[in-house]
Amino acid sequence: MAIIQFSEEKTEVTLSFDSGKMVEGKYGPQYMWSCNDDDVFYASEQFNALLQALSVQKGQTVSIKKVKKVDKYGDQLMTKDGNPLLVFSVNGQTLDTVVPVVKDSPVGAGFAHKDTKAKGELSMSELDYRLTAVEERLDKMDGAKSVNTEEEIPF
């Protein structure tokens, strides 16, 4: 039994099972995948998430290698010691390409929201204000009363 370690060179493996077995590793949980009949490789939680997102199956041959990670502007990301940050690629896809990263999320630290407009749409503050106004008006209504004019609705 050999332990396969991946590099920037493509390595093809044939999976023995549909998923890896969770084991405790040196840096926390990791997943042991059996492949090539009697070999194994260990996957971090992110690497395992990539394999699961691609719905890999027993008997499938996949191509795995490490690739340099880039940010949304195409700039190469570096580690603290100045080396390129490497991520796993399975059949040419990384976790960022399979599971889209939320960009410019309206939720920030402390659940504050970013007040931006997307192509002429309402900003988060405007939407929040209008929804609050509708909720307040609904709270004041007594079931029998109905809204008669568009001016009474803040949309």
pTM strictly above 0.85? no
Could you give the number of structural domains in the chain? 2
Residue with more model confidence, 112 or 65: 65
pLDDT band at 125 (very low <50, low <70, confident <90, very high): confident
Q: Specify whether 15 is located in the same domain as 79.
A: yes
Domain that includes residue 128, residue range:
102-142
22 and 60 fall within a common domain:
yes
Nearby residues of 49 by Cβ (< 8 Å), 6 or more positions away: 95, 99
Same domain, 39 and 56: yes
Q: How confident is the model at residue 22 (pLDDT cuts 50, 70, 90)?
A: very high
Whole-angstrom Cα distance, residue 105 to residue 72?
14
Q: Report the alpha-carbon distance of residue 15 to residue 33 in Å, rounded.
A: 7
Whether residue 15 sits in one domain with residue 81? yes
For tokens 């059949």, what's the residue? 91
Which tokens belong to 146? 């109905």
Are residues 138 and 75 both part of a single domain?
A: no
List Cβ neighbours of 100 (8 Å cut-off, separation of 6 or more).
Answer: none
